[in-house]
Amino acid sequence: MAAESLFNRPLCVQLRCQGCEERKLNVRVNIELLSISNPVHKKDLAVRLTDDTDPFFLYNLVISEEDFQSLKSQQGLLVDFSAFPQKFIDLLQQCIQEQNKDIPRFLLQLVSSAPVLDHTPVSLNVVETNPFKHLTHLSLKFLPGNDAEIKKFLASCLKCLKEDKMMLEEKLRKTEENLSRQLSYTQQNLSEKSRELDKLKNEWTSYTTALTNKHTQELTNEKERALQAQAQYQQQHEQQKKELENLHQKSIQQLQNRLSELEVINKDLTERRYKGDSTVRELKAKLSGIEDECQRTKQEVLSLRRENTTLDAECHEKEKLINQLQTRVAVLEQEIKDKDQLVIRTKEVLDATQEQKVILEESTEKKQSHIEKLETTIKSLSAELLKANEIIKKLQGDLKTLMSKLKLKNTVTIQQEKLLAEKEERLQKEQRELQETGQSLRMKEQEVCKLQEQLETTIQKLEESKQLLKTNENVITWLNKQLNEIQMAKKLETSAPPHGAVRTVLSPHGLPDRPSFPSSGISHPLSPLYAFQNLAEPAHNRTVSSQYPVPKVPCNTQLSKMNPCSSVQTVAAASSQPANKENGDNLGLESKYFKKKDDSIPLRGLSQNTLNSEYLKPYLPTKAQPSPKAAVTPASAYFPG
């Protein structure tokens, strides 16, 4: 029995006993998956509740697959037995996440029917709290452990503690050894370093004494030099002081003259400032209106620029897609021309919008230059603002006229906004048309992909059919050669030996080509494949057979009449060679014709099936029907020994 631990953690549980108040208790929940192989392979889920502070607190629950089916039907679970442990662990994890909160959403409740937990059954409930109701997701009934189970549990705990103790002792011993080694090493280093320190101290004392002597001599020399330099600097300072006093008196006289001039200029500037204040206020009123218009135009320009950038990017992408589709699909050119016209229209609309954008940019540049001029005038007139306070009272009447002008400007701006709304509607229409064209282009791309896939499949089928044609052509040529050989053999049989004698014709490969038996009444020769299947190729003629891909009888072959001795030699030579295997000897054909394919014809049945096929019947000679009494005698009967 193998046990796989799935969950082992302490959890905070609410304990509910009959007639007692609720209290919290830390309980360790251990979930294990037990797999039993004898006598039947099955899996059980074991859940154990323990308390780390109380070793006699033990509750067990073992759920088999049959028990789970009843639990599933009782509590309306939607999970199989294989997925139940993980779902139960997920619920416990949610309880762990919520246990530190003041109002937890998920709770674990341990409910007992007795007033005290004293070896009575207990039910563990996973509860979800709502403002409306407490929902119990799962309720498991645990049984208290008997003495044997408690002893077994305590023994396992003791074993684990002993193993932990042994591990800690080993770690302690290793750390002590390491620390002792490090201590000895550090003590050795300390002694060496102390020796080096003593040497350095001695060297340092000698060096410091030498330096002090040098520095005392240098200090005396420097003091003498400093006294001499001080006397020189004092003389120079007195001379510079006299020169600076003279310069200071001259600068004071110049500044007094400058002050008188500045006072005169200041009076003129104050008069100008009063005049400038009046003009500045007028310009401020105008500037506020122009700034509002400028901000609106800037916002419009920004929105138009963004739209233009998006439209330009989309146009570039679509132009690329159109170029690709024109090269790939020649059949769909007529439909694409209609869509091209739509694209041209959209381009014209885009060009119009770009022209409007250029006009707006020029207007904004003009306004910016005008604003810069106004700013320069404001800077020049800022000094004359004080004089404008007296003229404000006179210009109140002018302000009323300006307000009427502002109302007119507002009406003009409203009309411009209406025009902008119309332009936006046009742009939205163009965008919709572009989206429709994009969708149609995607549909055509999908159709092109399908056509390409069909093309690839047809090309593959073509290649396979070409390969099959090549193999069929090779087989037909080979069969034609065989038919030619048969016809030549028939012609040679006309010049046959007397009745009752056996003749064998040797092929260029050294094999007996076809034995004919006149005494038996068989007038047709045997097929050349018969000779290749029953007689092996001699060893001295294998090099010759590799040069000739197809076995054939040439027209100038001479028949040799064999005596019994020569026949014995040929049969012995044939029997000494190993018989041709089904795929081992290539029978004169190249190796590529013997590769096994799914649609190919097996080679073994070529000698009979191909000769009996319908499309080869016109090329085959007519066979003479043997007499019913005639029997084919084996070749060994004609060769004694």
- Only one residue has tokens 């506020």, namely 288
Three-class DSSP category at 59: strand
* Closest to 301 (Cα-Cα) out of 213, 222, 235, 361: 361
Q: How far apart are CA 88 and CA 11, in angstroms?
A: 14
Please report which helix (H) or strand (E) contains residue 5, including its range: strand 2-16
- Only one residue has tokens 């019994």, namely 564
Cis peptide before 497 (omega within 30 of 0): no
- DSSP type of residue 539: G
Question: What are the angstrom distances between the C-alpha of 539 and each of 509, 536, 547, 582?
Answer: 10, 9, 14, 18
Dihedral angle sign, alpha carbons of residues 307, 313, 315, 321: negative
Dihedral angle sign, alpha carbons of residues 347, 353, 356, 360: negative
Query: Which residues lie closer than 8 Å to 451 by C-beta, 6 or more apart?
Result: 329
Q: Which two tokens stand for residue 379?
A: 């800077």
Q: How far apart are CA 296 and CA 290, in angstroms?
A: 10
Phi, psi of 38 (to 5 degrees): -110, 135
β-strand partners of 166: none
Q: Are 220 and 214 in contact (CB under 8 A)?
A: no
Low-confidence stretches of the chain (pLDDT < 70) are 1-2, 38, 495-641
Q: Which two tokens stand for residue 30?
A: 């251990």
Q: How far apart are CA 62 and CA 196, in angstroms?
A: 73
Q: How far apart are CA 640 and CA 629, in angstroms?
A: 25
pLDDT attached to residue 352: 87
Q: How far apart are CA 306 and CA 234, in angstroms?
A: 75
Q: How far apart are CA 447 and CA 133, in angstroms?
A: 58
Please tell me the pTM assigned to this model.
0.31
Please state the length of the chain. 641
Three-class DSSP category at 44: strand
Phi, psi of 525 (to 5 degrees): -80, 160
Q: How far apart are CA 573 and CA 577, in angstroms?
A: 7
Q: Are strands 2-16 and 106-112 parallel, antiparallel or unpaired?
A: parallel
The letter for the amino acid at 595 is K
Please report which helix (H) or strand (E) contains residue 25, including its range: strand 23-36
Q: Are 463 and 487 in contact (CB under 8 A)?
A: no
Instruction: Return the number of other C-beta atoms located less than 10 Å from residue 261's C-beta.
Output: 9
Q: How far apart are CA 270 and CA 263, in angstroms?
A: 11
Q: How far apart are CA 589 and CA 519, in angstroms?
A: 34
